[in-house]
């Protein structure tokens, strides 16, 4: 059994974890930034008309806020099976240290799911207007892609978390400027 009992959620896991946990706390990771650079054909889009979801990309000095979930060690293996299935569209488990205070230096060991350039659904950098256009037209088994973006932005706002990329995309979508 792993000693990493924290899960860091930064996308849909932030507002919709759907797995048992003992506590949840806003948390951040260092050296990563959130980007809508991953296509979704299984949750917020379909093959042939993929949606856009977030992944984390390495960026020296960056900080990314999300939600930390502390798991019951007895339930860890079962939760990871569930999450491996949910995140099967290109995400892989990644060890990470979760931090909870702005000035924290030492973190709690945990896991997060990252979609790297090695997965077939990775898109990489694109103009925000192109991403917005794709988000507007995409729907998948988990619902409208637009809903994913707006719920993520709302969840970040509730935590008073800054995210220039997410909020800029939200503004474009709300303004209908895509």
10 interacts with ligand SIN by CB under 6 A: yes
Catalytic hit among 87, 92, 101, 108: 87
Using CB under 6 A, which of 5, 13, 37, 149 touches ligand SIN? 13
Using CB under 6 A, which of 4, 5, 6, 12 touches ligand SIN? 12
Using CB under 6 A, which of 29, 113, 134, 140 touches ligand SIN? 113
CA distance 55 to 11: 8
Residues 6+ apart with CB under 8 A from 130: none
Compute the least distance from the CB of residue 86 to ligand SIN, in Å: 7
Rounded to the nearest 10 degrees, the angle between the axes of helix 128-137 and helix 164-175 is 60
15 within 8 A of 106, measured Cβ to Cβ: no
* Sites for ligand SIN among residues 115-174 (CB under 6 A): none
Report the residue number, 19 or 176, with the smaller CB distance to ligand SIN.
19
110 interacts with ligand SIN by CB under 6 A: no
Q: Which residue has the tokens 């019951």?
A: 72
CA distance 87 to 65: 19
Tokens in use for 39?
């296509």
Binding part of the chain for ligand SIN, among 10-18, 117-125, 157-165, 170-178 by CB under 6 A, reads 10-18
Count the residues in the chain: 178
* Sites for ligand SIN among residues 76-105 (CB under 6 A): 87
Q: How many residues bind ligand SIN (CB under 6 A)?
A: 11
CA R_g for the chain: 16
Handedness of CA 111, 62, 122, 165 (dihedral sign): positive
87 is catalytic: yes
Residues 6+ apart with CB under 8 A from 16: 151
Using CB under 6 A, which of 4, 5, 11, 169 touches ligand SIN? 11
Position closest to ligand SIN via CB: 11
Active site residues: 87
Binding site for ligand SIN (CB under 6 A): 9-14, 53-54, 87, 112-113
């Amino acid at each position: 059994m792993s000693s990493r009992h924290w899960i860091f959620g930064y996308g849909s896991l932030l507002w919709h974890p759907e797995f048992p946990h003992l506590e949840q706390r806003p948390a951040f990771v260092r050296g990563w930034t959130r980007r809508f650079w991953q296509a979704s054909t299984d949750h917020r889009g379909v093959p042939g008309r993929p949606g856009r979801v977030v992944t984390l990309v390495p960026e020296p000095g960056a900080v990314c806020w999300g939600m930390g979930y502390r798991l019951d060690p007895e339930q860890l293996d079962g939760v990871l099976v569930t999450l491996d299935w949910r995140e099967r569209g290109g995400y892989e488990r990644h060890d990470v240290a979760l931090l909870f205070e702005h000035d924290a230096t030492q973190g709690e060991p945990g896991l997060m799911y990252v979609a790297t350039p090695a997965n077939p659904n990775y898109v990489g950098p694109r103009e925000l207007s192109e991403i917005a256009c794709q988000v507007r037209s995409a729907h998948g088994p988990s619902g409208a892609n637009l809903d994913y973006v707006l719920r993520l932005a709302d969840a970040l706002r509730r935590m008073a978390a800054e995210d220039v990329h997410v909020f800029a995309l939200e503004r474009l979508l709300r303004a209908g400027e895509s």
